[in-house]
């Protein structure tokens, strides 16, 4: 199972109006989105001295460093950015997400809580806290923050998906499938990797439902769920032909005894 990587800080950043952006920002952003992180950073450095207080440049620099695994540098940019823009939520979401990517849930929670106190409640700060509690297997705590996130944005796909992941971890596979389907209904809000993970998790939920039905001697329904699982794994594979989880999952399901 793959915990979705929340990307809301980047979504807020990328939505800046063009006239508000510092010079060469779009060039640096395009390079980042192509995965050319060093060149993106080179463009940022070229204009940075004249725009040190630019939240957009700081966020983009941090995103580049985080993508390269240089988390100390990524956090440093966000700490400077929070200093310069204490009432802005974007750097706080980014900083919380960096800690989460480093598997530091307690730091994630602390940054997000301080963000809510300083910048006001925000759906992505709530989801960073929920994701951190998910990592700690504290599902009741995670669900409380998912509830608050959905109160702020009732259609937020990340909140719906994370709720499904909790059901999956708890072995409530029908509820997980229901939440994953709700997330799929909003698939246009997901990036490529998120959609691949969603299809894999949906496949796993159906696979486990099939196991339960076979054990209950409901062979026809069990086989139907296995077919659904293979279908979702194939969807993931079509989007990402290099994905290793999907083909292994298909082989596992096809090897299931159904006699």
> Which pLDDT tens digit goes with each residue over 88-127?
999 999 999 999 999 999 999 999 999 999 999 999 999 9
| Of 134, 133, 139, 112, residue with least CA distance to 123 | 112
| Of 82, 85, 152, residue with least CA distance to 96 | 82
Going by pLDDT thresholds of 50, 70 and 90, the confidence category of residue 20 is: confident
pLDDT of 5 strictly over 80: no
Alpha carbons within 13 angstroms on the beta-carbon side of residue 97 total 27
Start-end ranges of CATH 1.25.40.10 in the chain? 1-154, 156-259
Average pLDDT over residues 58-66: 96
pLDDT of 142 strictly over 70: yes
Average pLDDT over residues 207-213: 98
| Of 67, 68, 57, residue with least CA distance to 91 | 57
Lookup result for tokens 């990402």? 240
Q: Which residues contact 7 (CB under 8 A, 6 or more apart)?
A: 191, 194
What interhelical angle do 90-101 and 105-119 show, nearest 10?
A: 170
Q: Quick one: pLDDT at residue 3?
A: 41
Tell me the pTM: 0.90
Asked: is 156-259 a CATH 1.25.40.10 domain? The reply is yes
CA-based angle 59:144:146, to the nearest 5? 45
pLDDT of 7 strictly over 80: no
Q: Quick one: pLDDT at residue 16?
A: 54
pLDDT of 201 strictly over 50: yes
Least confident range from 16-30, 35-49, 149-163, 192-206: namely 16-30
- Give the integer Cα–Cα distance in Å for 98 and 101: 5
Tokens of 130: 């929920």
Q: Quick one: pLDDT at residue 17?
A: 55
Q: What whole-number percentage of the chain has pLDDT above 70? A: 92
Virtual CA dihedral for 134, 129, 98, 49, nearest 10 degrees?
Answer: 170
Q: What is the CATH code of the structural domain delimited by 1-154?
A: 1.25.40.10
């Amino acid at each position: 199972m793959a915990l979705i990587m929340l990307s809301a800080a980047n979504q807020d950043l990328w939505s800046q109006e063009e006239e508000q952006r510092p010079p060469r920002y779009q060039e640096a952003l395009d390079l980042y989105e192509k995965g050319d992180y060093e060149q993106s950073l080179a463009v940022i450095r070229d204009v940075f001295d004249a725009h040190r207080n630019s939240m957009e440049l700081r966020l983009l620099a941090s995103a580049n460093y985080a993508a390269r695994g240089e988390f100390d540098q990524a956090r440093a940019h966000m700490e400077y950015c929070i200093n310069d823009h204490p009432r802005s939520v974007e750097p706080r979401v980014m900083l919380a997400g960096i800690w989460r990517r480093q598997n530091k849930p307690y730091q994630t929670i602390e940054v997000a809580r301080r963000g809510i106190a300083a910048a006001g409640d925000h759906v992505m700060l709530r989801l960073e806290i929920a994701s951190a509690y998910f990592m700690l297997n504290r599902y009741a705590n995670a669900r409380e923050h998912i509830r608050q996130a959905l109160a702020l944005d009732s259609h937020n796909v990340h909140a719906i998906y994370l709720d499904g992941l909790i059901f999956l971890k708890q072995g409530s596979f029908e509820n997980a499938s229901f939440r994953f389907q709700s997330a799929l209904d909003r698939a246009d809000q997901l990036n490529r990797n998120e959609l691949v993970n969603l299809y894999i998790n949906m496949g796993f939920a159906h696979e486990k439902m099939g196991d339960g039905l076979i054990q209950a001697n409901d062979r026809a329904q069990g086989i139907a769920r296995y077919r659904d699982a293979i279908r979702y794994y194939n969807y993931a594979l079509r989007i990402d032909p290099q994905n290793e989880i999907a083909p292994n999952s298909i082989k596992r399901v096809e090897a299931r005894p159904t006699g």
